[in-house]
């Protein structure tokens, strides 16, 4: 199978490409990828893998902020990673992650993603580590604890170096799933 990887900012994707990404993610997540999830993956860098049948894999990294030990960090938040069902387990998710990690490692203090059970194996094999500390967000009403996110948040230290799980992470707020 011959594939082609392309990275591009959201602003450089055509409406047809964005529709193809949306359709791929709908299929990759068995219809459980809603409009807010899609929007969370916009505004940053996309990694797109094409094969002879079209778009085969996608992921994006968008900038967010997280506070740790009184310092706000630039976070490269990996979003919308999905592989077309008929080409899973062929290394395409790894190709997407390799492309996104280059941006995370060079442009952000920290890489963050929220892993599904299926995705966690891929991320762990690539050096992402589960965050064992508290996870919160700065909501319109103030800081709120997000216990349902704990255990699924994975980090890539990038420029910040190791973080202390004894001190939590407080993420910026967004509608829908905060992480």
- The tens digit of pLDDT for each residue in 75-119 reads 999 999 999 999 999 999 999 999 999 999 999 999 999 998 888
Tell me, yes or no, whether 12 lies in a domain: yes
1, pLDDT greater than 90: no
Facing residues of 155 across strands? 112, 129
The answer to whether position 143 is within a domain reads yes
pTM reported for the whole predicted model: 0.94
CA–CA dist 110, 75 (Å, integer): 5
Residue 57 near residue 87, CB atoms below 8 Å? yes
What is the DSSP pairing of strand 135-139 with strand 129-130? unpaired
Mind listing the pLDDT tens digit for each residue in 49-83? 999 999 999 999 999 999 999 999 999 999 999 99
Q: What is the mean pLDDT of residues 3-20?
A: 98
Report helix angle 92-107 to 117-125, nearest 10: 60
Nearest to 110 by CA among 139, 151, 69, 143: 69
CATH code where residue 126 lies? 3.40.630.30
Q: CA-to-CA distance for 175 and 15, rounded, in angstroms?
A: 23
Number of domains in the chain: 1
Q: What is the pLDDT of residues 119-162, one digit of tens each?
A: 899 999 999 999 999 999 999 999 999 999 999 999 997 777 77
- Is residue 154 in some structural domain? yes
167 lies in a domain? Answer: yes
Domain span at residue 13 reads 4-172
Question: What pLDDT score was predicted for residue 174?
Answer: 94
First to last CA, the chain: 34
Task: Please indicate, yes or no, if residue 160 is contained in any of the structural domains.
Answer: yes
The answer to whether residue 178 sits within a structural domain is no
Is residue 60 in a domain?
yes
């Amino acid at each position: 199978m011959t594939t082609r990887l392309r990275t591009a900012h959201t602003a450089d994707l055509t409406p047809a490409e964005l529709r193809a990404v949306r359709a791929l993610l709908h299929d990759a997540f068995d219809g459980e990828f809603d409009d807010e999830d899609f929007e969370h993956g916009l505004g940053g860098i996309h990694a797109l893998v094409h094969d002879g049948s079209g778009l085969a894999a996608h992921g994006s990294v968008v900038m967010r902020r997280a506070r740790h030990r009184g310092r706000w960090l630039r976070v490269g938040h990996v979003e919308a990673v999905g592989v077309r069902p008929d080409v899973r387990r062929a290394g395409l998710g790894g190709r997407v992650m390799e492309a996104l990690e280059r941006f995370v490692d060079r442009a952000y203090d920290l890489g963050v993603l929220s892993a599904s059970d299926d995705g966690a194996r891929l991320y762990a094999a690539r050096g992402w580590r589960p965050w064992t500390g508290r996870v919160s967000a700065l909501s319109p009403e103030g800081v709120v604890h997000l216990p349902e996110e704990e255990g699924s948040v994975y980090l890539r230290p990038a420029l910040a170096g190791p973080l202390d799980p004894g001190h939590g992470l407080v993420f910026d707020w967004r509608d829908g799933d905060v992480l």
